[in-house]
Chain A
C-alpha cells in the first residue's frame, strides 16, 4: 500500500513539474545526474552496478522510491534516495531518460 502511495506521489509530481521551465529542469537534472555518474556509467555500459539508461522516467522514479522505502536493498542507493526530494527524483529520472536518447553507439 505504501508503495502505491509513493508511486502516485511521483506520478503527481510529473504533472506539477510541467510548469517548471525547461532550462531549470535541465540544469537541475544535469547536477543531480552528476551524482549518479560517480557509480553508474552513463554511456550505457554495465558491470556489477547496473546501467540506469534505457529506463523510462516512471521506472527510474519507482526504483528510487523502492530503495528509499527499503523495498529494494542497497544501502548506497538508500542514502542517495533519502537525500532527494520527490521533486528531485522526478527531475533526475526525466533527465536520465532523455540522456539515453543522446548516447553514442
Chain B
C-alpha cells in the first residue's frame, strides 16, 4: 500500500517533485495516522486529499454503507430526469488508486485521550488526527407527530436513497389533481435552495404527467434562498401550480398527522395527496454523541483548520460544521475538506500550507433546461468565516444562458464526483 501511494504521488506531481520528496520520506520513521469518520462528500474528499497531499500519512475511511447516493441532483430523479443509480458512488477508487484503507463499519465512539476510534465490530483504530464528517440529523423533537417511523409514510427524502425512491413512487401513484404538500424547514438546513428546486422539478413532472395537480409549500420561514429567481421561474414555467405560504401567513407549522396525511399550521390544516416533510436539522448523531456540538446543535470549528473548538485533535467538515457564513452544501463540504486535509498534512509532515481558499457553488434547476447558479468566496476572519464575494444568476437572463447553465451543471456533477470519489487521474 505504501509503494502504491508513493507511486500515485509521484505520478501526480511529476518528476520535478522527486528530489524534494525523497528526503521527506526518508526522514519519517513511521506513518502518521488519520482516521476519517463518514464517507459523504466531506469525508470522502478529506480522505482523498490527505492521501494525495502526504504519502507519509496512512488514511483510513470508516463508513457503514457500501456506497453514497448524492442528495444534490436527487430532485432530477424525482422529476424522472435521471436514475438513482447515476447518483450513487462507491469507494473502490479511493481504496485502489489512492491506497485509502476503507472500512465499512459504524463508529462506536472516539476516545480523544487514548486517541482511538472504536468500531462497532470491536477493533479500535489509533489516530494522530481524526476527521469527522457526520452530516445532518433530523430534530424530530421539534416537529409534533413526525418521527423516524413517520418517514416510512411521509418521507423527508433529505438523505438520498430509499427515502427518495419512496417519494418518487408516491408521486407516480398519485392521481392527477392531487395536492403535493412540501414542508420546508427553518434555517439552517442542508442546501438552502433545494426545497424550492424540488417544488420546481416536481411541478415539471406534474406538467408532463398530471397537469391538474398542485404543489403547496408550507414554509417554517418568511423568505427563502434565491426567492426572486424561483418566483420568476414558477410564473414562467408552472403558472398557477405552485403556492408558497410563509410562516407569517400560516402562523407556522404546528404538527404532522401521518394517518390523515395532513399538516397542521397555526391557522389551518392542509390535507395532502402526497406529503414531503423536511424536518428541522442539526449535526449528525455521531457529533451529538461525541461532545462536538454546542447549543446551536452544530459543531463549532477553527475557521482555518476545521479543528473542533470543543475537542482538540478532532476536525469537523461538511454539513455538521458551524462555519460562519458558509451554507450547508456539497460544494462547501468539498471545499472545507480540502482546507482541512492540507492543514492536517502540514501539521503532521511539516510541509508548507497555503492560506485556505474556501468557496461555494450551487447549481439549481428550475426546469430541465433552465438552471441558475451562484458562486461565493469566503475567508476566515476573527475566528469565523465571512463572505468575500457573492455572484448570483439574475432574473432577466436569456433562455440560452439558462440552458447553458443547465449543461454546465451536468458537467459539474461529473467533475465533482470524480474529484470527491476519485475516478479521475487527479
B388: interface (CB < 8 Å): yes
A32: interface (CB < 8 Å): yes
Majority-rule SS of A interface residues: helix
Q: In the complex the two chains form, is B16's CB within 8 Å of A98's CB?
A: yes
Q: In the complex the two chains form, is A84's CB within 8 Å of B357's CB?
A: yes
Please choose the segment from B144-152, B178-186, B275-283, B415-423 that sits at the chain A interface, where 4 or more of its residues have CB less than 8 A away.
B415-423
A32 — which chain B residues lie within 8 A by C-beta? 354, 357
Partner of A102, one of B14, B342, B359, B411: B14
- 9 interchain pairs, CB-CB under 8 A: A22-B19, A28-B354, A34-B49, A34-B342, A38-B416, A78-B375, A80-B357, A83-B377, A102-B13
Chain A CB within 10 Å, residue with most, of B338, B352, B376: B352
A98 — which chain B residues lie within 8 A by C-beta? 14, 16
A103: interface (CB < 8 Å): yes
A40: interface (CB < 8 Å): yes
B351: interface (CB < 8 Å): yes
B352 — which chain A residues lie within 8 A by C-beta? 23-24, 27-28
B426 — which chain A residues lie within 8 A by C-beta? 33, 37, 42-43, 99
A3: interface (CB < 8 Å): no
How many Å lie between the Cα of A28 and that of B410 in the bound state?
Answer: 29
Please choose the segment from A9-17, A45-53, A55-63 that sits at the chain B interface, where 4 or more of its residues have CB less than 8 A away.
A45-53
How many Å lie between the Cα of A37 and that of B419 in the bound state?
Answer: 6
- Known interface pairs A26-B13, A34-B49, A83-B377; A104-B354 also in contact (CB < 8 Å): no
Q: In the complex the two chains form, is A38's CB within 8 Å of B361's CB?
A: yes
- Known interface pairs A75-B392, A79-B375; A41-B13 also in contact (CB < 8 Å): no
The number of residue pairs between A and B whose CB atoms lie closer than 8 Å in the complex comes to: 134
A82 — which chain B residues lie within 8 A by C-beta? 377, 388-389
- Known interface pairs A30-B12, A37-B419, A39-B415; A80-B17 also in contact (CB < 8 Å): no
B408: interface (CB < 8 Å): yes
A24 — which chain B residues lie within 8 A by C-beta? 352
A72 to chain B, nearest CB (A): 13
CB closest chain-B residue, reference A50: B411
A76: interface (CB < 8 Å): yes
Q: In the complex the two chains form, is B407's CB within 8 Å of A48's CB?
A: yes
B249 — which chain A residues lie within 8 A by C-beta? none
- Known interface pairs A26-B17, A101-B14; A79-B415 also in contact (CB < 8 Å): no
B20: interface (CB < 8 Å): yes
How many Å lie between the Cα of A83 and that of B331 in the bound state?
Answer: 17
Partner of B416, one of A39, A101, A104: A39
Which 6 pairs, one residue from A and one from B, show the smallest C-beta to C-beta distance? A75-B391, A47-B411, A48-B411, A42-B426, A43-B424, A48-B407
How many Å lie between the Cα of A44 and that of B393 in the bound state?
Answer: 28
A45 — which chain B residues lie within 8 A by C-beta? 414-415, 424
B389 — which chain A residues lie within 8 A by C-beta? 78-79, 82-83
How many Å lie between the Cα of A43 and that of B418 in the bound state?
Answer: 9
Partner of B374, one of A26, A44, A75, A103: A75
